[in-house]
Amino acid sequence: MELRTLRYFVAVAEELHFGRAARRLHMSQPPLSRAIKLLETDLGTALFRRSPAGVALTGAGETLLHEARALLDHADQVRAKVTKSVLTVGVLGDHGAARIAQEFRRKHPGVEIVVRETDLTDPTCGLRAHQVDVALTRGPFDRTGLRTRVLRTDPVGAVLRADDPLAQEERITTADLDGRDWFQFPDGTDEIWRSYWNGGRPRRGPTVRAVQECVQSVLWNGSVGLAPLGHDLGDELRVVPIDDMAPSPVVVAWRDDDPLTRDFVEAATQVVWTETA
């Protein structure tokens, strides 16, 4: 069953008259009649009861009309999404965004990619607010209503001033940091996200929204925070691995599973797998 033939069928089913359906479709009646007859032959059942007064749907025709409308509506939605010229990408951190964009453009050179950088208060990068189509971000966070794919996992450590006694240790635990001020995210921030970056328990400390605010909080106040290992934070800071913290996943997240978004997800997956192979 081709979509074009289904559109012919729906027109006849709604008009219940081949002549009116042909005029609606801007075609002559004989090819329309032949297309419907071929469809009935293909399905092995009659879709219409024909009479001099017109046509009426059979039981099979009623069933096909319901399904065909849904299928054609979905096809129209897919076509609209595939042909859209802009994809908005939310980014929290880098995560190879430039290389992912390059891989995506190989398949969709005509699509404009709009990048929306977000701060630490929204790990979904605006997905829930419908501000972006897809997000390159870091977890964990509340994934309810979202689709996600883990690209890799990164171990984390405590961000400390270089003159902090614990900065000389090879590895520590969250218990070693009890009694310290930890930088905090504002009220309303995703609770799963906030709990993780507080080491799994309530903490006190200055409120921050961006990575640079976290860095300055550690430098000026001696606050404690967490960060993925491997980030260069300068000579004044150290990131000491924490043994009892689960790794933080780098994920691509999206809401609507349209073909253009799926291609971006596949591009992100391909780039990260290639880099880690």
- CA 45/CA 42 separation, integer angstroms: 8
pLDDT at position 83? 65
- Strand extents, DSSP E, the chain: 48-51, 54-57, 86-91, 112-117, 134-138, 147-154, 156-161, 225-228, 237-241, 248-254
Asked if residue 276 has pLDDT above 60, the reply is no
Asked if residue 246 has pLDDT above 60, the reply is yes
Q: Can you tell me whether residue 246 is helix, strand or coil?
A: coil
Whole-number CA gyration radius for the chain: 28
Query: pLDDT of 220-241, one tens digit each?
Result: 988 898 999 987 788 899 999 9
Task: Place 277 in a pLDDT band, splitting at 50, 70 and 90.
Answer: very low
pLDDT at position 78? 76
Pairing of strands 156-161, 225-228: antiparallel
- CA 133/CA 259 separation, integer angstroms: 12
**Bigger pLDDT: 95 vs 90:** 90
Query: pLDDT of 100-129, one tens digit each?
Result: 888 898 888 888 888 899 899 999 999 988
Beta bridge partners of 253: 135, 148
Nearest CA to 29 among 41, 44, 12?
Answer: 12
- CA 38/CA 42 separation, integer angstroms: 6
CA distances from 86 to 81, 101, 132, 147 (A): 10, 13, 11, 20
- CA 19/CA 25 separation, integer angstroms: 10
Query: pLDDT of 25-35, one tens digit each?
Result: 989 999 999 99
Asked if residue 215 has pLDDT above 60, the reply is yes
Asked if residue 273 has pLDDT above 70, the reply is no
pLDDT at position 185? 92
Q: Tokens 């897919």 belong to which residue?
A: 78
Tell me if 251 sits within 8 A of 182, measured CB to CB: no
